[in-house]
Structure formats: C-alpha cells, structure tokens
Structure 1
Amino acid sequence: MPHTNPASPILQLSEAKVAYGQIEAVKGISLELFPGELVSLIGANGAGKTTTLNAVAGTLQLSAGSLRYLGEPIGALPAHKRLRAGIALVPEGRGIFTRLTVEENLRMGAYTRKDRAEIEADLQRVYDLLPRVKERLAQVAGTLSGGEQQMVAIGRALLSRPKLLLLDEPSMGLAPLIVEKIFEVIHTVMKQGVTVLLVEQNANLALGYSNRAYVMESGKITLTGSGQDLLHDPKVRSAYLGEVA
C-alpha cells in the first residue's frame, strides 16, 4: 500500500549530488522516507544507488544539496555520529568481521551503546528473529554460508537500535530460498517500527515488499510510485523485470 502517514519525513534528500573527483555519480536527486516505511531504490548497476546509501550513512559526503534526518540537517555529521543517531548501514558484500565469532560480530553492532541490560535484551530479540544465527554464536563468522553471513550483518545493524536501516543488495549471490527468508526478516524489522531504505537488484521482490520505490538511472531519479504501481508499470517491467514490453 502507498504510505499515507501525515508525519514528518524521517529522511529527506533535496537536490543531492555526490561526486567522485570530477565524476558526478548522483546528479541532484530528491527523495523522502516516512517513519515505518520500506522504500526501495531500484535501477541498473552504476545508477548511483549504492552511492546514495553511502551518502545517507555518512561514508560519502554530498557535493551539493541537503540531507535532513528527523528534521535536522546532518550533511556535516560524521558516519559514527549518524550511527549513534539511529542510521545503520548493512553494506553490499555484508562487511562482517570474518575472523570474529558470530556473537562477537553481533556485539560489535552495539559498540556505541552503554546500556548493558538493554543490549542483552536486544540480543535476545535478534536471536528470536534470526534462529539460525543463534545456533552459530560460537562459530567463526567467515565459515558461515553467504545467507548466514547476511543474517549476521542484519543482526549486527539491529544491535545499534536503528531508526533507519539502510540495506545494500541483501540478496546478492544468495539462493532463492535464502533470499525469501532474508526478505521475510526485513519485512518483520519494518513491522517492528524500523524504517528501511533498500537497494536491491531483485526488483520484483523489492517492489513486492515496498510501500514506495524510486527508480534511478544514471544518477537521477526517473520514476517514483508505490511498490505495486511500479511492479505493474510496463517500463519498469521491461527494464528491470526482464519482460519484453
């Protein structure tokens, strides 16, 4: 369903640009997310989707435009302060610590927190959400399957207690059955009140789960609408869902 919440946006990008030297990867995009939404960014490789997520997370800086989170400008805020404020990124390729155990990886997600009793309670919630992760707490994370590593990466992000969860290609390289489980977890997290901005190559699945979505092409947003509207849009089906128009 399209989102009709009259609340203020949790995230607003306005005319945002991001450049790598002389190359402009994001060319003046504007988008917004409202609390409790799952919003997807879809588009071909090189469209600027990952760059956009990194700009929100603070690992890249905007070269122009503005970024507001909970109504406040955060363009100058470093990444670790954005994490503390409730913005967590699960990067493409998962980015887990392969030589640490699963439990150590999860606890790394809470490194900015001091509330020990609450951290333990949050760990239990992650174990309930991700039972396969709980079964492997003592295992070295680098020995897990790709799907299990992705679940650890999501669990680690949840330990930071995010208000906004940024997910970059969570299904990449995973078997279809595992992808379905990952998306079920993402949907559950959203229903628990975490706002989600998702970059995903599997446009069919992403749109099916999304309240709204934006289509990016060559650093610009070319289309926006509800997940269902875009799922049935002939141009989107032709370009991203492998259908002949």
Structure 2
Amino acid sequence: MPHDNPAAPLLQLRDARIAYGQIQAVKGIDLELFSGELVSLIGANGAGKTTTLNAIAGTLQLSGGDLSYAGSAIAGMPAHKRLRAGIALVPEGRGIFTRLTVEENLRMGAYTRSDKAEIEADLQRVYEMLPRVKERLPQVAGTLSGGEQQMVAIGRALLSRPKLLLLDEPSMGLAPLIVEKIFEVIHTVMKQGVTVLLVEQNANLALGFSNRAYVMESGKITLSGSGQDLLHDPKVRSAYLGEAA
C-alpha cells in the first residue's frame, strides 16, 4: 500500500505516454506533485491535459512510462482502488448524477467507505464549506445551476477523503463571480492539506493560485516553473493570457 515519505513526491509521472489507438495523445511527460501543493496544468484544447488527469485517476491506462503515488507504482491499479488510496477526480463537465438529489450525489462520494459516523462528520464539514449546497440537499441535482453543480461535484469528491484532488476545468462555462467562489473553495480544500492538480482554461487565475505549474503543448510539457514565474513569462502571456509578446 502507499506509504508517506514527506521528502518524496506524492505523485510522479516518468516518461508517461498515453495513446488512443494509433494516436499518441501524451508523448512522454515527466510531472510530479508534492504533498500540500496546488499545481496547475495549462495549455490549449487538445494538448493532452484531460488525458493526463484521466490516466492518473485510472480511467485511462498508460501505454508507456511509469506512474507512482505515495511511493508505490500504480500504473496497473484499477480506478476504484486509486480512489480508495486517496486519488479523486472531479471530471470536466462535472459528471454529477442529474436524477439524484444533491444529498444522494454527495453520499455517492463515500461509497468506498464504511465508517458511518466519520462520513456524517465529513458531510457536515462539506456543508460548512459549501453552504449553498446545504440549502439544496433535497433538490434534484439536474435542476441546479452550473456553479452549484460544480460545488456538488467538488463536495462529492471530498467525501472520498482524498489526499490528491484532480480538478478538470472547474471554471468552465461559469460566470466570473461563481468562478471566484469555486476558487475560494479550492483554496479552502488546499488549506486542509489536500494536494490539488488543476487543469484550467483560465490560465491567469490558475497560475495566480498555483505553487507550481506545467505548460502542455501537443502532448508534451514545454515549460514548468512556479505559478508566479509562468504568470510573468512573456511566452505564456502571449500564448495563454491573450497578450502581445
């Protein structure tokens, strides 16, 4: 089972390759995350960012290279076991169960757990963090706004007690005020000791929030550095922040 060594990366990809049939979507990337960090993965659509998150979560398999988590190789581990080990994914498009109530959606996050009292305590913590979600508990999730659905998706992931939270485009299609709230929640999650890997189209916001970041282009990592360094990098600014170089 995974074992924690604070000096070693919590997650490490080495020469990771991912293919869809004959198409190489990810072409040998190196990426690492240390406990307590918020790391962003930015890049244009089709760069391989979502594919990378899915490979970490176990919904896609590596076609080559290595993946280790908490000191153990997990490339062959099925997705549900990765969830039990502490890796939770909030997918692009939120992936909530639209016909279930908000409360049922949240409880689905704890389906790998059997510690009933602890689950109830975690639900209360999620309600404190997401008061708007608490107000909507009996409501059918498909009737919520996009921002509320995103908060439910994050709350559901937190019910699995993740050590590593993978967030795929949490701000997509949301109004700026709602995006601000979502990022406040992400910041709170991080302060509670959860490590976060964030894929985000809003590069400005992502980099401003991140300890470190990677830039991905056509299946390769082309730049990496601190969030602040990349925020002020002229190449990044012209490519992703809409500024003239």
For this structure pair, what is the TM-score category when the shorter chain's length is used for normalisation? Answer: over 0.9
Aligned CA distance change for structure 1 residues 124 and 6 (closer, same or farther; 3 Å): closer
TM-score, normalised with respect to structure 2 = 0.98
- Map 1:150-189 onto structure 2 (within 5 A): 150-189=150-189
Contact 2:57 2:82 in 1 (8 A): yes
For residue 45 of structure 1, what is the aligned residue in structure 2? 45
Counterpart AA for 2:117: A
Contact 2:99 2:141 in 1 (8 A): yes
How many residues were matched structurally? 241
Contact 1:47 1:218 in 2 (8 A): yes
TM-score, normalised with respect to structure 1 = 0.98
Q: Does 1:98 align with 2:98?
A: yes
Counterpart AA for 2:124: Q
- Offset at residue 237 of structure 1 (A): 0.3
- Offset at residue 13 of structure 1 (A): 0.2
For residue 55 of structure 1, what is the aligned residue in structure 2? 55
SS state at 2:151 partner: helix
Structure 1: how far apart are the matches of 2:34 and 2:69?
11
Structure 1: how far apart are the matches of 2:160 and 2:214?
27
Structure 2 alignment gaps of length 5 or more: none
Structure 1: how far apart are the matches of 2:180 and 2:31?
27
Structure 1: how far apart are the matches of 2:20 and 2:56?
16
For residue 121 of structure 1, what is the aligned residue in structure 2? 121
Counterpart AA for 2:154: I
Counterpart AA for 2:168: D
Task: After superposition, give the CA deviation of every residue in 1:131-174 in whole Å (9 maximum; x if it has no partner).
Answer: 00000000000000000000000000000000000000000000
For residue 200 of structure 1, what is the aligned residue in structure 2? 200
Contact 2:14 2:67 in 1 (8 A): yes
Contact 1:17 1:64 in 2 (8 A): yes
Counterpart AA for 1:116: K
Q: Does 1:18 align with 2:35?
A: no
Structure 1: how far apart are the matches of 2:61 and 2:29?
14
Counterpart AA for 1:96: I
What is the root-mean-square deviation of aligned Cα atoms in Å? 0.9
- Offset at residue 6 of structure 1 (A): 6.5
Task: After superposition, give the CA deviation of every residue in 1:25-50 in whole Å (9 maximum; x if it has no partner).
Answer: 00000010000000000000000000
Structure 2: how far apart are the matches of 1:10 and 1:125?
25
Contact 1:95 1:153 in 2 (8 A): yes
Q: Does 1:209 align with 2:209?
A: yes
Runs of 4+ with deviation above 6 angstroms: none
Task: After superposition, give the CA deviation of every residue in 1:169-196 in whole Å (9 maximum; x if it has no partner).
Answer: 0000000000010001001101100000
Contact 1:7 1:35 in 2 (8 A): no
